Amino acid sequence: MIVRPRLHWFRMLLAWHGSVLPQLLSRLMLVLAISIVAVAAHDHILKLTVNMSTVPFSLIGIALAVFLGFRNSASYDRYWEGRKLWGQMLNETRSLVRESLTLVQSDDPRAHVRPFAELLCALPHALRHQLRHTDPRADLEARLPRDVVERAMASRYRPMTLLQCASEWLRNEVRAGHVDGYAVLAFERNFNGLSDVIGGCERIVSTPLPFAYTVMIHRTVYFFCALLPFGLVDSIGALTPIFAVFVAYAFMAHEAIASQLEDPFGTDENDLALNAMSESIEAALHDLLGDPTTPAAREPEQFIFD
């Protein structure tokens, strides 16, 4: 994901990086070529002349705009739910570290709870890799003991394995008499919250929008854009290529953006910045432990790509 300050209105018109225009360029060129053919046919340069009324395009365009709006809304809901889940992860992990520092009886609380905090620091990295189907070993080895890493790598759902390790740490503290029963209830509320976060992210990844619905919109957009020049040429003549390409860009861009947002945990430029958020969560937990600023503790504006 691109994270940057809001651009000036004129620079926004010329923005290329992060726009869906690069991936649409070849398709827009095809619409431009069809438009040129339509103008040539209308001017009787070619033997075949195809003129169509704008009425059916108006009706189809309105219906298509409604369907695209619905799909974009559904995709953005998934994107925003994913963002809220990762925000909840930050809140739950900070609460757990705070509770461990104040509710666990120890002469040196920060040193005592550090293994517990390191598990929570590794959790967002493990979840990020699970959502993207990538290998988390390097990130886990940089933060956890070898035995914990091997245990996590041997499991299918690594974030839940790390959460189980954190629960076992709490169990050992209870057995040692460092944590009372009332404190355990506070810990369990946050553990359940993290479990909800992991499950919510897994639900988004494993439940895409219905394929038939996506295909229907995709086909309609491209048939509409391919035939549109023949509906415009009779009324605007030589200006047909300009307007046809502009309309095609509007419809195709909406579909492309919805396709990116449908899976908010991917690596497209408009997906959630999971790398940045993982590092921000880790930096927040280290800050509670009183550690000096780590390389991960960068300001959000410094993250350009995820």
What is the model's pTM? Answer: 0.84
Q: What is the structure's pLDDT at 295?
A: 47
C-alpha span between 80 and 85 (Å, rounded): 9
Return the percentage of the chain with pLDDT > 90, whole number.
Answer: 52
pLDDT at 59: 77
pLDDT at 230: 86
Contacts 24+ apart (CB under 8 A), 210-217: 213/71, 214/71, 214/259, 216/67, 217/64, 217/67, 217/68, 217/71, 217/255
110-162 tens-digit pLDDT: 899 999 999 999 999 999 999 999 999 999 999 999 999 999 999 999 999 99
Instruction: Convert the pLDDT of each residue in 231-249 to its tens digit.
Output: 888 888 888 899 999 999 9
The two structure tokens encoding residue 226: 């391919």
Is the dihedral angle over the CA atoms 295, 301, 305, 306 positive or is it negative? positive
Distance of CA 190 to the CA centre of its chain: 24
Q: Which of 139-153, 245-259, 285-299 is least confident?
A: 285-299
Yes or no: say if 193 and 253 are a contact pair by the CB < 8 Å rule: no
Residue type, 238: A
Is 125:140 a contact under the CB 8 Å cutoff?
Answer: yes
Q: Where are the domains of the chain?
A: 9-302
pLDDT for res 47 = 56
pLDDT for 298: 40
Quote the pLDDT of residue 300. 37
Out of 5-14, 147-156, 217-226, 269-278, least confident range: 5-14
Q: What is the pLDDT of residues 23-79, one digit of tens each?
A: 889 999 999 999 998 888 776 655 555 556 667 777 788 888 888 888 889 999 999
Write the pLDDT tens digit of every residue in 166-193. Answer: 999 999 999 999 998 888 999 999 999 9
Of residues 150 and 12, more confidence is placed in 150
What are the C-alpha distances in Å from 110 to residues 28, 103, 186, 252, 269?
59, 12, 19, 53, 38
Asked whether the predicted pLDDT for residue 19 surpasses 80, the reply is no
pLDDT, averaged across the chain: 86
Check residue 238 and give its pLDDT.
85
Whether the pLDDT of residue 109 is over 70: the answer is yes
Nearest-CA neighbor of 1 among 281, 293, 263? Answer: 263
